[in-house]
Structure 1
Amino acid sequence: MIDHVGLLVSGYERSREFYRTVLAPLGGELLMEVTAEQTGDGSHAGFGMNGRPTFWIDTSQNTHANGAVHVAFTAPDRSAVRTFHRLALEAGATDNGAPGLRPHYHPHYYGAFVLDPDGHNIEAVCHSPE
């Protein structure tokens, strides 16, 4: 059900090194970094195991638009991502990123983002090619 989670941090390098250190004995490692230029906002670092980042930190500047807490749910296909987005908006969420490809994560990353009633950044993501 949970694909990945993310936290907003105030200092990217400091937090990146903190999590690199404390997650190492648990088997976690820094697997991916995404620059502010790629996202259009903050820098991101993805930690995980077995080549899959499941815990992210980021320095997005606009916490209201990006949510201080980020939770991404796994979707079985792209249609489910679109349905999630539509139903979330109908249920009162605020759009935070229409369904679509996010190739700066990987070529098949298809996600949609909404802000829930408390302003948390909630996502549905499908990693399949179609």
Structure 2
Amino acid sequence: MFDHVKFGVSDFAASKAFFVKALEPLGVVVVGEGVPTYGVELCQKDGTVSLILYQTDEKPAHLHIAFVAENRQQVDDFHRLAMEAGAKDNGAPGLRPKYHANYYAAFVIGPDGHNVELVCHKPA
């Protein structure tokens, strides 16, 4: 749906480590990196959509960003790895029928307080 999303973070090293580890189940890797104020670009292998993080002293507004998962196992793996990377739980993996019958998602709060979600819309 988007080409790239770029947002500022207060601790570049912590945020980079968090997103690289948490999004590992989706095959996300570092595809480009400059100095922290320029940032790091993360993308799926052979992908066309990227997430870019950069160091800033500005206080960003909290962000909710949702990534699409191909299956529920990726959602489970995302949550586990994100927690290992220092995230705070904001919703364990599970169905969210208030959105729709097959909305299987997990939510975590990243280093800057951003709500990061991985969602699978497919049935089990």
TM-score (norm 2): 0.51
- Equivalence for 1:54: none
**One-letter amino acid of the structure 1 residue matched with residue 103 of structure 2:** Y
Does 2:73 match 1:73? no
Deviation readout 1:89-122 (Å, 9 max, x if unpaired): 0001100000000001000000000000000000
SS of the residue 1:88 aligns to = helix
RMSD: 2.1
- Equivalence for 1:5: none
Does 2:109 match 1:119? no
Deviation at 1:68, TM superposition (A): 2.6
**Consecutive unaligned residues in structure 2, runs of 5 or more:** 3-60
Matches within 5 A, 1:3-82: 68-82=62-76
| Off by >3 Å, runs of 4+ in structure 1 | none
- Equivalence for 1:129: 123
Deviation at 1:69, TM superposition (A): 1.1
SS of the residue 1:117 aligns to = coil
For 1:68 and 1:100, locate their aligned partners in 2 and report how far apart those are by CA, in whole Å.
23
For 1:69 and 1:117, locate their aligned partners in 2 and report how far apart those are by CA, in whole Å.
12
Which of 76, 81, 99 in structure 2 is aligned with 1:87? Answer: 81
TM-score (norm 1): 0.49
Structure with the largest fraction of helix = 1
- Equivalence for 2:91: 97
For 2:82 and 2:63, locate their aligned partners in 1 and report how far apart those are by CA, in whole Å.
17
Aligned residues: 67
For 2:112 and 2:90, locate their aligned partners in 1 and report how far apart those are by CA, in whole Å.
13
